[in-house]
Amino acid sequence: MKRIKLFLSTIIMCFISGMAANGMTATLKIMETTDVHGNFFGYDFKNARWLDSGLTRAYTYVSRQRQKFGTDHCIMLDAGDVLQGQPCVYFSNFIDTCSQHLASKVMNYMKYDAACFGNHDIEAGKSVYDRWRNDCRYPLLGANIISDKTGKPYAPPYCILKRGGMKIAVVGLLTEAIPMWLPHDLWPDIHFDDIVMTARKCVEKVRADEKPDLIVGLFHTGLKGGGNNGYNENAAEQIAREVPGFDIIFFGHDHQVCCKSIDNIETGHKVWLLNAGGGTGHVAEVELTYKTDSKAPRIETIKGNIVELKDYEADKGMLEHFSNDIEKVKGYVEETVGTLDEPICTADYFLGRSTMADLLHAVQLGKTHADISLITPLTYNDTIKAGKIRVRDIFRLYQYENRINVFRLSGKEIRKALETAYSLWTGDISGAEPHAIALAKRHDSNSYTIAAPTFLLMSAGGIRYDVDLSKPKGCRVAIKCMSDGKKFQEDKVYDVAVNSYVGSGGGGLLTEGSGIGLKDLPLRIVSTTDKDLRYYIIDYFRNHPSPLRIPKISDWQFIPLPKVQKIVEKDKEILFR
C-alpha cells in the first residue's frame, strides 16, 4: 500500500508540475450593454406594456454566465446613454431628486464592473450626472472628458480589473461631438478632447504603466461615418484600425448591432468590434480562452457574439427588488394633465400643416414670445387619441430633453435653414416614379421610411410658406408672409424659438444651413428656458381649459397643386400604412 501511495503521489506531482509548466486553459467572458435609455425593467412606461428587452432580461443572461464560468471569470460593462429615454430615468433625474439615482441602483444591483459616459448622460446636466456618478459602485470612465480647471480627465480614463489571473485594462471614451448637440451650461467646466488622439495617448500610458494582459476599449461612439461641424462623431472602427494596443472594443451610440474583427494597420493585430445596439434588446460579448502559467497568461482565442435577449425571461428577483420603484414611476406617468379635443396624428407633420406641429409651435411661442418658431419632430408615426391626456402620452409625443433657445436670425438665415431641412426631406416629382418625400427602404424589410432622421426635418410656425417640389433642392421654400399677413423680410432680424439640439448646431441646420459658425451660435442666443420642452408641453395642458383646442399655427404646403396632392397621398400610403 505504501508503494501504491508513493506511486500515486509521484504521478500527481508530475501532473501538477506539467500544468505549471504548460499552463491550464481558462475562459473569460466579457459582456456589454449599451444605449439602455432607461429600459431597466423591460417595461414601457410610455405605452403601459411589457417588452421583450430590458436589463432584467440581460441580468438573467449575465447571471447564467457567472454561474457557468464563475464570477471571477466574468466582466460586465456598459457603453453609455443610460440617463435618457424611458420616463423612469426622467423621474429620477428631475422629479425624485432626493433618492439614490435609479440608474445607479439598478446597475449596482447587477454588479457592473465599469461603464462610460454617453452624450445623453451629459444631456441630463451636471447636477444629475454627478449625482449618478457618486451613487455608482463601479467606475464611470471618460478619458477625453477634460476638466477646464485642472487640464486632467474629469472622469477616470481607465480602470484595471483582475479576473481569473488576468489583468485587464478598460479604457473609456466619449464621442467628441457634444458641443454641437448640448448647450454649454449642461457641461460647465469640462471639454471633450479629440477621441482618436486621446485613445492613442491613453493606450500608450496604460501599456507602459500597467502592463496589462488585455486592453479593452469601452466607447460611446458609433462605428464610422456621420458627424457635422468637423466633429468625428463615430470613430470606433478608426481607432481599432489606426491605434495600436486594443484587443477588444465595445462601443455604442449609433444603436447598430455589430460583431466583427478588423486588423490594426500598424501591427496587423486583430481587434474585435462589438456593439449591443440600442434599447437593451441584446448583449454583446466575447469569450476569451487563455493559458495560465507562472509568468503571464497567454491568450489563445477571442470570439465575439451577440445574444438576443427576447429568448430570456426577466429575472423575477430583480423585478421584485425594484417593484416599489416601478409602481412609483407608473403613478407619475399615469397622472392626467388635461384633455384633448381632437387626435394628434404625428405622421401628418411630414405632409403639411399638422396638429402636432401646431402644439409644439404653440408651446414654444407661448413660452418665449418669439416671432417665429422652428421645430423638429421626435415621433415618426404615432397617434395621441382625443380625450384624457396623461404624462406618458407627452413622453410618446416628445422623446428628448431639449430646452428652448431664442435666437436672433435674419429672414435669409431662417429660409436657408428651412431649405436645408426640406432638402433632406423631399423627393423628386419629375421622374417616372415621383415622390414628394425622400424614401428609404427599411433594413431587412419591404417597408419604407423617410430617408433622413426625423429630428432634422424642421418646419416653421409664425410664417406662411410653400415648398415647391417642381424646383431644385435648395430653392424650394417660398416664404409668403408672416402669419398675421405682415411682410416677411429677408434682411430683417427676428426672434426665433428653436430647440437646443438644433440651436447648439445639431444636424448642421443653423451652421451648414444658415451659414452661422458653430462658435458664433451662442452669441445669437437671446434666452434659454430653464426646463425642457416636454415639461412645458405638460404645463401647457395643465394651464389651458379642457378639452384643449390647439390653435392652428403651422401654415405650409407642398406645391404645385393639384399635381403634388396625388403624389403626397401615395407617399403617405407607402410610409404610414
The single-letter code of the amino acid at 508 is: G
Which is nearest to 25 in space by CA: 140, 131, 165? 165
For residue 285, with 0-12 CB atoms within 10 Å meaning exposed, 13-18 middle and 19 or more buried, which class applies? buried
Cβ of 356: how many Cβ atoms within 10 Å? 24
C-alpha cell at 272: 474585435
Can you tell me the distance from the alpha carbon of 278 to that of 118, in angstroms, rounded to the nearest whole number? 12
Give pLDDT tens digits for 333-358: 999 999 999 999 999 999 999 999 99
CA 373 vs CA 112, 409, 458, 460: distances in Å: 44, 11, 10, 6
Model confidence at 222, pLDDT cuts 50, 70, 90, reads: very high
CA 175 vs CA 120, 342, 348: distances in Å: 11, 42, 34
Give pLDDT tens digits for 302-323: 999 999 999 999 999 999 999 9
Model confidence at 331, pLDDT cuts 50, 70, 90, reads: very high
pLDDT at 15: 39
Model confidence at 445, pLDDT cuts 50, 70, 90, reads: confident
pLDDT at 18: 39
H helices within 126-262, ranges in order?
126-135, 195-209, 236-242
Give pLDDT tens digits for 18-34: 343 456 899 999 999 99
Model confidence at 295, pLDDT cuts 50, 70, 90, reads: confident
Model confidence at 3, pLDDT cuts 50, 70, 90, reads: low
Distant-in-sequence, close-in-space partners of 55: CB < 8 Å, separation ≥ 6:
33, 36, 39, 40, 41, 42, 106, 107, 110, 280, 318
Q: Treating both helix axes as pointing N-terminal to C-terminal, what angle do 533-542 and 355-368 enclose, rounded to 10 degrees?
A: 90
pLDDT at 518: 93
Is pLDDT larger for residue 541 or for residue 296? 541
Can you tell me the distance from the alpha carbon of 155 to that of 566, in angstroms, rounded to the nearest whole number? 56
Instruction: Give the HSE-up count for residue 497: Cα atoms under 13 Å, Cβ half-sphere.
Output: 24
| Rounded average pLDDT over 39-62 | 98
Can you tell me the distance from the alpha carbon of 547 to that of 342, in angstroms, rounded to the nearest whole number? 9
pLDDT at 332: 98
Q: In what order do the strands lie in the sheet with 248-251?
A: 158-163, 166-174, 214-220, 248-251, 270-275, 258-263
Mean pLDDT of the chain: 94
Q: What is the pTM of this model?
A: 0.91
Least confident of 229-238, 323-332, 436-445, 535-544: 436-445
| Rounded average pLDDT over 36-62 | 98
Query: Which residue in this structure is represented by grid cell 426635418?
Result: 457
C-alpha cell at 464: 406662411
Is pLDDT larger for residue 178 or for residue 226? 178
| Rounded average pLDDT over 76-102 | 97
Cis check for the bond before 547: say yes or no (omega within 30 of 0): yes
Can you tell me the distance from the alpha carbon of 404 to that of 540, in angstroms, rounded to the nearest whole number? 14
Cis check for the bond before 562: say yes or no (omega within 30 of 0): yes
Model confidence at 569, pLDDT cuts 50, 70, 90, reads: very high
Give pLDDT tens digits for 104-149: 999 999 999 999 999 999 999 999 999 999 999 999 999 999 999 9
pLDDT at 446: 82
Instruction: Give the HSE-up count for residue 189: Cα atoms under 13 Å, Cβ half-sphere.
Output: 10
pLDDT at 293: 75
pLDDT at 346: 95
